[in-house]
Structure 1
């Protein structure tokens, strides 16, 4: 029996040794795969993970202990938790043999990394529920990025060929036989790809006479002409060859195209064929011909038009006038050409007209309409409806004005009499959904339509007549939504403090509604203003569309900061706010130092990574109310509202310090940049260009003083930063 006991102990000892050896080998295998292993109690949430599991997400195991299900959920991207739960459900219900999920986890450095998570249940409880699972994590970030890069490359290549059927793409082999004929080529030439690929050669579609004339100077000494493909490919071997050609469609119809032919080389540099890209310009050429015809027609219409017409120089001189305008103003043509339009405009209307002219020249409008008064040769007032458009050169430079002038003196007199009559009648607009109020100059409501009474006083109210408009109508503005607007601003015909079509909000209880307010002034028999009719319309949807359009047009896609267009809009608003409130504001201009070596050494992708990181530093280094913009390249700007230059200098110093410590991992190195910062105060009345120039001048001064410092207009302020290299190994 003793012997048997000894034998049993020996077997147990060998079995334990074998088990230990198996565990050692298993551990070596797991270490060799660099997998992070995990065990999970599905019922309690308890987890057991190895050090590699924590290392994959940038932690030491001790930093995460005790590890449980909540640890995992805290690290997983919120959008991927749903995917993980669905995969677990499939495994628990027997629809899959294993739990498999591709998900993102937050690395300690803040980046999202891709994890291939795989496991299975190895123990079930007595009720058939999953009890213990085991599995492994594998870091597949680089693989996922490679897949994404490959997919994007394929998409870009496909887009070149098929994104638009307006471009004909034809590729050939080295002998000129067509190997690719895209949908654009099918549309242009009327052939299907099946009719052409492998059967036709480049040059087969050219107009024979035009092609022969082009080949004739290339003839050999014996007079023989080279083949079309040979001549075209010889030009393309030197460089991309572009020319206007006439191509013949399958039905014989000629089409004018702009054809560019390029040589295609393989990976080893050997020629593998040619690719031609054609753009149909037939309609463009036809449009040009039609434009010439239109110009001739315009000349005829100008001369014979019943309306007064004139071409006016940018300085206001008449360049040409027709007979109708001469009749309206009572001048002979030669005499009228010697007088500028300002001398003929009624003094009370001149500034309005000139302001609209400036809007045209500045590009703020493409045309304008105005009812104004002219003075004829005898000094008589002529009421006219003026329509003006600006003719520009093909480069967008202003050339001259085209004016149409209609004599509406009789109509104006009739309308004035009708208008005065209508003012004496009560306007009954109860069927209108908009809010209509008639308000006297002292702010009392004379009349409110049913919609206004219902909205402002409740369903049970009968009238608002006699109430102070300030007591029932709470208007605010988008730039100061917390302050109720003094309605006297809206009762002043000379005031432009509020944009009636973009600024106003109607406060109803705790809610505010964007409204568009239209005013019509009520005048007495002598023309004096005695009140106004207001029409308030719900403008919620229109402003939402405008905000969305402005946002898409004013955001830099790389950094998600404001672009130059958005920056200029915000800067103009800040300058206006300074002028209106007197509150201080500053503009910070930031130019990165040592950014060009990053691009030159590591490439534009590294440069983009640096720009993104710098944008993040700037965004988090200022207040949410401040505007951070990328102006282009490595230039940034920050609009600091309510901020003096001295305070802005301190903020700039803090940003320099943060940028100096910024270290962007790239490949096996780390990238660093510095910055030079210029600061200028904003002042009311200054233009956007003046503000930018002032801050840019200080930035230039910062660079001249050794870079990596802050310079403030009017102060000797230098806040140095780090001067480390652009990249370290």
Structure 2
């Protein structure tokens, strides 16, 4: 009876074990995992059908299944690592065997497999006997990981491509996780110093932020952090504002900071990105321009010298009080007449000839002593200095005249000597070098600055020596070719006036200088000598070069802006007129650019403009001029390039733009282009050339975009570009 109960219990236990094994098999089947068992000592191995299916086989096709079957299917580059992890487990160093490796599918391609297992039975000596595990196909997951890594690498490359824009990304708590080369250049920190360690609020000026945050305090008086305040504005989209950044070395920079949220595809917020552009140089230039205008207005109205703005026809446009006092007229009376009416008849022809030289570009300014008719009929001697103000395109606008009343000096030799003495004392106090010379180059006077600079500290006076022995002048254009000093002593020579790039040899150093000459006359009115004023122009020329660069370069793309483009185009027109060499003008208008701004924001648009600019820059010769005219419009000046050749270049550029694709978020953005090409003629104006190319670009737009339109050659019998029809679509 007892045996019967024992048999029934054993049978029940066996049935439960079978049922449990069946449940386990159903669970394994549900997970679509391939399972395996391995007798480590005998080499016997068993796998389920799913294990074989993962690599595209049936169990029968793989039979007999042994560890060598696994080794044969595993990628050679992954086998050593897998064996090392297996050994670590069998020798007890790890709790389980876990390996990610590639296995060859029956069709020949590689799949990623996650293989996990562990020993579950040991022999009497404690050696591993049976081991079991499972295979899972993780190709999709691994490929997704690789795609994500590739995308991050491409995005990092785009972010690091420009060191002119600081890009700083954080997580939602404000911890920095991206700090590009532009940020390192702007702030002076390395990426290692800030990533994972610093909140970007550190970079803001503390006083500025304290004043900004004060009104944002809550009812308990708690102020938000800098990061909380700024990201709150950017919660729904990009937010921009000007701030003061503090560099690591304590320096301060003004920046335009744009902050945007970073969201996952599912809408989950995972961080923020800030892009900062250093606008300090621009603000400094604006301040300098404002101060210069203010100083000129102040100097004009309050100057002791008579000053006037004079039209090209000679009419007084504006005069200061000092000039009214010199001539005896009211301001209203002077504005009704011209300078010719008040000029003495014997001096008028000389004055008009010098004016003509200014307008023709043969000199930058001139000086002369001349006589005016005062309101009471008296003669007023004026020492006149005139310069010409030109527009950005070089066209003359008006004259600026300075008039010093020298009537008393002319009438009284004693007063003249006293004035000369006062002048010499004054000149010894100024930093400019001042020399008085006779027409043979003998130095009659040298102020303290000239003596020290040309002869050295404590040297004997230069009086009586030859100017050729102490001064050597060259130009920036030809620094190794000294100017002839004798020519500079000729009153009829404009050698100095033609040079705005003079250099003064100071031992081994070449010092940029401006040289101003004023001619001395004897009692007979003839030239008897000259006064030279030599001024250090180092800082002035540096500011001029910087100002020209800032005024003619587009800050986003670093291409020439419209102003720089028009200057280059004017030069190209002059070159064509002088040499007869062909030149072409290409206008490029991007297609489908506006949707990028509308859908992805201006940062995406700026990234596309920068990419197109880089493509155009590398798609033409170094000697060609690539410009951004504004918005999504570009232009290329192709010097020495016929319409036929220009069309081939345009076709290549069109294809490059058409295939251009930049990553943005989870998408890739692209545009097209419409291109118009016109010939640059030697007799045309800048506006004519621009209008011709623009019209052809507009025509390309009208013909469906993404094509090239070329100007029909005007010379009879001239072949159209590439032998095709004029205006042929690329």
Q: Tell whether the structures are fold-level matches, with TM greater than 0.5.
A: no
Q: TM-score, normalised by structure 1?
A: 0.45
Q: TM-score, normalised by structure 2?
A: 0.45
Rg comparison, structure with higher value: 2
